[in-house]
Structure 1
Amino acid sequence: MMATPTIAVLAVWVVNRRTTPFRQMATETGLTLGPNRKRTLLILLTAWLGTPVLIVLAFGLSIALGLLPADLSGMAANLRTAGLPVPENLPLVLTAQIIGSALIGPVLNALPSLGEEWGWRGWLLPRLVESRGVGQAVLISGLIWGAWHAPLTLLGYNYPSLGPWAALMFTGATVLIGALFSWLRLRSGSVWPAVIAHGSLNAVAPMIALFAAPDTPPNYVLAGITGLTGWALMALTAACLFRFWPVRQA
């Protein structure tokens, strides 16, 4: 499923290959490192490290608000249910898992993440910017991205307690996540920082499940990076990025 946006990009290129050489198309859709390689590499590193930091901040804020257990009792209960020993220092184990996922996850997830990002942020976003401007382009691309997830989210994916309403909830999340990914793409002129951020998000965000006891799952509508707590953090981060570090217009 994650490969379909890339398949669409390639299909568009096949139709226009006589007028648009692949090298030109690759440059226009961000497969290169952009006009300033040093800046792109710096932004890529920021995406690699910043994405898990934002997710951990969402975890921390959720714990502070009482939306997640601070004592990791859910993680201990899950280990006992699985017949595994409970480590004496659960916070250390969780920290090690998050660090490992943050460092390795973007590499392991790079190919499937590229499958999405080359379509959404590589091809679609710059064309929307040209016709609608940055603000509308970010909003429209985020809405389209959310609608594309509907086959999963209508089944309650990410928000199991909501059932079909999860599709609407996750569309709000995709707009905000998409805003951050769009800044990475437009600021660098390359799709690769968004690919790394997407890979990191997919690797680290699901660790919210480690906070869940078998009989008391977290309130995913409120907690974590895709809950309302994360929405607030992402909205603030996106507003600061677009305000203080202007983006390229294409």
Structure 2
Amino acid sequence: MKRPLLVFIVLAFGLSWAAALPLWLGGGLSSPLTQALGTLLMFTPAVGVLGVWAVSRTPFREWARETGLTLGERKGRTGLLVLTAWLGVPLLVFVAMGISAALGLVSLDLDGLSIYREAMEARGVQAPADLGTVALLQIVIGVAAGPVLNGIPALGEEWGWRGWLVPRLVATNGVLAGLLISGFVWGLWHAPLTLLGYNYPRLGSWAALAFIGFCVLAGVLLGWLRLRTGSVWPAVVAHASLNAIASVALLLGDASDPPNELLAGITGVVGWLLLAVLGAVVLRFYPVRPQQPRPAESAEPVA
């Protein structure tokens, strides 16, 4: 397994830093290239999987099954968990915001939507008079269409982290340790962006450490979806839905008292606790078993 793992890590991490390099050379996250380069970065784990496939010389149909591109042996279960991820992730995001507000960590501004208004004006867009309707429409679109609109870049990540890496780490380290390690690697991979303050702008470079905490816990649930179904698609839907709705929820705050991203919301401490509880529940009541990788995958390729 060492050589495939090395190929995967070098490609996924090396290309992620290459993709983010223009941000480091000038502009940081304020660069107009941030969104495009961030999306490009999401495909680097998939390139890592393709690199491992190239050295393993596995027939693609077999490789697709091993890395979760099929629907797994129980398609009904996979479909049910796809639907659960589609609707459950937005629910979890807004529950995290509700708890944050109840604890006084977020001041909601549901009438004026001041943070949402400021965000629109920062992009040079005049906020409409019926901003509440626009915000509601964005939330509905995010919930309904987010997994579709964000599905391809989410697959770029999930095929690598959950599709290929999770089963191999679980097979050699056990379920819980494998899931935790994979989440740590996933969080560390975000460093080209998080060291610039991505997701936690108040923290600066410390955002990299904070996001690892989130990724370790979120990675348990995403990895569980992969192992429970034998398919990467429920994790893809969950990831795509999270990307669509997490930032929208924070826009419901009050601009005069903006939320502390480290504490509030799904990516803050409140969210970490929710994810930890949910992860413990699913692993306890819906256990998963390690999936052994194909023995030939760890063998050296024929010269």
The TM-score, its normalising length taken from structure 2, stands at 0.77
Indicate which of 87, 92, 101 corresponds to 2:130: 87
Does 2:16 correspond to 1:16? Answer: no
Does 2:90 correspond to 1:52? Answer: yes
Q: Which position in structure 2 is the counterpart of 1:218? A: 259
Does 2:114 correspond to 1:71? Answer: no
Offset at 1:62? 1.1
Offset at 1:98? 1.9
Does 2:99 correspond to 1:61? Answer: yes
Q: Does the 8 Å CA contact 1:63/1:70 hold for their aligned counterparts? A: yes
Does 2:274 correspond to 1:233? Answer: yes
Give, in whole Å, the separation in 1 of the partners of 2:248 and 2:139.
Answer: 8
Indicate which of 124, 127, 130 corresponds to 2:165: 124
Give, in whole Å, the separation in 2 of the partners of 1:52 and 1:141.
Answer: 23
AA in 2 matched with 1:144: V
In structure 2, relative to structure 1, the CA distance for the partners of 1:213 and 1:63 (3 Å cut) is: closer
AA in 2 matched with 1:178: G
Q: Which position in structure 2 is the counterpart of 1:26? A: 64
Q: Does the 8 Å CA contact 1:35/1:189 hold for their aligned counterparts? A: yes
Offset at 1:95? 4.0
Q: Does the 8 Å CA contact 1:34/1:40 hold for their aligned counterparts? A: yes
Offset at 1:68? 1.7
Indicate which of 198, 209, 214 corresponds to 1:173: 214
Give, in whole Å, the separation in 1 of the partners of 2:200 and 2:74.
Answer: 40
Does 2:78 correspond to 1:37? Answer: no
Give, in whole Å, the separation in 1 of the partners of 2:129 and 2:76.
Answer: 45
The alignment covers a number of residue pairs equal to 246
Give, in whole Å, the separation in 1 of the partners of 2:136 and 2:99.
Answer: 16
Offset at 1:99? 2.4
Does 2:50 correspond to 1:5? Answer: no
Q: Does the 8 Å CA contact 1:79/1:86 hold for their aligned counterparts? A: no
Give, in whole Å, the separation in 1 of the partners of 2:213 and 2:190.
Answer: 12
AA in 2 matched with 1:47: A
Q: Flag structure 2 segments of 5+ consecutive residues without an equivalent.
A: 1-40, 292-303
Cα deviation, 1:100-146, whole Å, max 9, x if unaligned, reads 20110000111000000000000000001111110110111011001
AA in 1 matched with 2:194: T
Offset at 1:149? 0.2
Same amino acid, percent of matched pairs? 57
The TM-score, its normalising length taken from structure 1, stands at 0.93
- Secondary structure of the structure 2 residue equivalent to 1:164: helix
Indicate which of 97, 100, 113 corresponds to 2:154: 113
Give, in whole Å, the separation in 2 of the partners of 1:22 and 1:133.
Answer: 27
Give, in whole Å, the separation in 2 of the partners of 1:190 and 1:151.
Answer: 29
Give, in whole Å, the separation in 1 of the partners of 2:278 and 2:136.
Answer: 23
Give, in whole Å, the separation in 2 of the partners of 1:36 and 1:85.
Answer: 47
In structure 2, relative to structure 1, the CA distance for the partners of 1:77 and 1:239 (3 Å cut) is: closer
